[in-house]
Amino acid sequence: MKRTTLDKLHVAARGGQCRLFYLDEAGFCASPPVQRSWSPRGLPHAIEPNPHCRRSVIAALNFADNSFVYAASARTVKGPDVLAFLDSLIRKGDGRPTVIVLDNASIHHSIDENTLDRWFLEHKVLLFYLPPYSPELNLIEIVWKHFKYHWRRFVTWTKETIDAELAELLNGYGTKFQVNFS
């Protein structure tokens, strides 16, 4: 049922009848993911972690024009961060109804009813929650996968380089990097 509704929303967004965003958060670590490695015989596999060099990103994928709006932070994304990001996204509206697709993370459900009502009445905004355990329906998950495993240069980022390289990666969506959702 949710898939059918999303398909109808895709048609409406492509036709310019509404704005459709997919919203989610992702974390980027300084060390690239290690998929294969080796260690001398008899010794355990060991990797030098870089735990103090992590960035959190909250972003929204605009389905109609396949654009990307984001905010990066050196700290973990919490409920008030989601609320502030959604509020800024909503205020940039153009009068058309807006649907924001979210997964069931607890920080997405921390928005109070008064705020939801205000957004709906003032900006024609509706939050659309996906069923639990259905990341395949959240298109921004595909973008995160490409950012982390295909477009990112697999070098260890340092505190000095992570912000610049992450900004280059995120700002490059739509010009250097893009996922085709046809």
Closest CA to 16 of 131, 117, 94, 85: 94
Confidence of residue 150 (pLDDT cuts 50, 70, 90): confident
- Inside any domain, residue 100: yes
**Tally of CB atoms within 10 A around 30:** 18
pLDDT reported for residue 22: 94
Mean pLDDT in the chain? 84
Provide the CA 131 distance to its chain's centre, in angstroms: 17
- Inside any domain, residue 36: no
The arithmetic mean of pLDDT across residues 71-96, rounded, is 89
Q: CATH number of the domain at 149, please.
A: 3.30.420.10
Tokens for 105? 């993370």
- Inside any domain, residue 38: no
The arithmetic mean of pLDDT across residues 142-146, rounded, is 85
The number of distinct structural domains making up the chain is 1
- Inside any domain, residue 16: yes
- Per the structure, the complete domain to which residue 83 belongs is given by 2-25+50-171
Measured torsion, CA atoms of residues 157, 163, 165, 168, in degrees rounded to the nearest 10: 170
Q: What is the DSSP letter of 174?
A: T
